[in-house]
Amino acid sequence: MAPFDAPAFAATMRHYCTYFDSGFLIQGVALWHSLQRHDPGSVLWVLALDEEAALALERIGSATLRVARLSDLEAADQELAAVKTGRSRAEYIFTLSPCLPRWLLRTHSALERIVYLDADVLLWGPPDRIYPGQCCPGAHVVITAHRFPSWAGYLEQHGRFNVGVQVFANTPEAHAVLDDWRSRCLEWCYDRLEGDRYADQKYLDAWPERFGPVVGVLEDPGVNLAPWNWMAHQCEVDMDGEVRVDGRPLVLFHFARFRPLAGSWFWQSGQLQYGVMPWSLRQAIYGVYWQALEEARRELARCGLDRAMPVRATRAGDLSMGGWLLRLVCGSDWVRIGSRFFSCRLGLGRYSGRVLAWRARHAESTSRTAGSGK
């Protein structure tokens, strides 16, 4: 069967895409489950980055889960394949960001639009609010701001926008945006800050001005809520356990950097740089996510792939003596018991991001003073 070939699909279906390897297989299946729950009949197109992920997804065998291999995209986009040897694995994966939706829209003219989602997001409710008709009337492309809190403005040096949730219409206007982004990523897409460039992400900073009303910016607080912005909003958990963000129901949470450190009982929250969630909000979001991950793991086990999420490396800075001390004091590493996550923090908790922001400002001020010779 040809890549992504499948029986004819209704034009009214909503279509999503993502990419991941076997290390994110459980998260990817959890994402698909959440789409089926909150957007029934929608289709998730997955670019499998290794053979293990491709085979696992093919075993599931659902018409709403369509799979292609990385080699299929590379065969169709030889300019993409040509830059592979000069980039790290992570940098090459960043380079895929514009290439996957561009390929799908060009290959399948019946698609009205495609929504790209990172594999580590989960839907909490119907995703209507991410579509242009509701959030950005007239836009052909929709992007989401990081929405950092005011004290974390220094983080915007890596990009004002987050690539984890994007919408592209199948129109010449959206194609022009994707073509421009792809060209820039093929030329330069590295995991370092260099002038006005950082990976695939910082290119988006110029889009609202460069493309005008073609690009809409989604500022909905309930969409792409994440470790880096939850503290910038009023987040509440009602009596039924439902999460509301600035008074609106949560639609989608982005579980960036959430990973096991040991087995399935000890976890890195991914929140040290921003602020550790308080107990009730943590259970309402991360506790629910754990249940979704377990459901995904059981689905894979039924297909003969009984596996746990792999332990992933921690960033070097977090392993320094100062990093370990801050992680301990702030409780950014969690112990899981059942579906509850305990931080065991000793005091700072949600203020860890402010501490790190102060430290970054202090380091920058010291560097400027040293440079001036004062």
Mean pLDDT by 10 residues, the chain (374 residues): 51 89 97 98 97 96 96 98 98 98 96 97 97 92 96 93 98 98 98 97 98 97 97 95 96 97 93 90 97 97 87 57 71 93 72 76 55 47
Do 33 and 299 form a contact (C-beta atoms < 8 A)? yes
pLDDT at 237 (0 to 100): 97
Q: Is 89 a member of any domain?
A: yes
Q: For residues 120 and 244, state if they share a domain.
A: yes
Q: Is 8 a member of any domain?
A: no
Q: What is the CATH number of the domain that holds 93?
A: 3.90.550.10
pLDDT at 353 (0 to 100): 81
pLDDT at 326 (0 to 100): 77
Q: For residues 374 and 334, state if they share a domain.
A: yes
Q: For residues 54 and 192, state if they share a domain.
A: yes
Domain of 267, in residue numbers: 260-276+284-374
Q: For residues 186 and 267, state if they share a domain.
A: no
Q: Is 343 a member of any domain?
A: yes
CA atoms in the 13 A half-sphere facing the CB of 15: 23
pLDDT at 78 (0 to 100): 98
pLDDT at 322 (0 to 100): 57
Q: For residues 269 and 362, state if they share a domain.
A: yes
Q: Is 3 a member of any domain?
A: no
pLDDT at 370 (0 to 100): 47
Q: Is 219 a member of any domain?
A: yes
Burial tier of 129 (Cβ tally within 10 Å: 0-12, 13-18, 19+): middle
| Nearby residues of 86 by Cβ (< 8 Å), 6 or more positions away | none
CA atoms in the 13 A half-sphere facing the CB of 200: 21
Q: Is 10 a member of any domain?
A: no
pLDDT at 305 (0 to 100): 87
Q: For residues 359 and 288, state if they share a domain.
A: yes
Q: For residues 267 and 237, state if they share a domain.
A: no
Burial tier of 151 (Cβ tally within 10 Å: 0-12, 13-18, 19+): middle
Q: Is 5 a member of any domain?
A: no
Its pTM surpasses 0.85: yes
Count of H-run helices and E-run strands, the chain: 12, 18
Q: For residues 24 and 128, state if they share a domain.
A: yes
Q: For residues 185 and 319, state if they share a domain.
A: no
| Nearby residues of 49 by Cβ (< 8 Å), 6 or more positions away | 19, 20, 21, 70, 93
pLDDT at 313 (0 to 100): 61
Burial tier of 371 (Cβ tally within 10 Å: 0-12, 13-18, 19+): exposed
Q: For residues 199 and 139, state if they share a domain.
A: yes
Do 250 and 225 form a contact (C-beta atoms < 8 A)? yes
Tokens 């929140």, residue?
Answer: 271
Q: For residues 27 and 115, state if they share a domain.
A: yes
Q: For residues 77 and 203, state if they share a domain.
A: yes
pLDDT at 314 (0 to 100): 59
Q: How many CB atoms lie within 10 A of CB 122?
A: 23
Q: Is 301 a member of any domain?
A: yes
How many separate domains does the chain show? 2
User: Nearest to residue 35, comparing CAs of 223, 212, 232, 251?
Assistant: 251
CA distance 100 to 281: 34
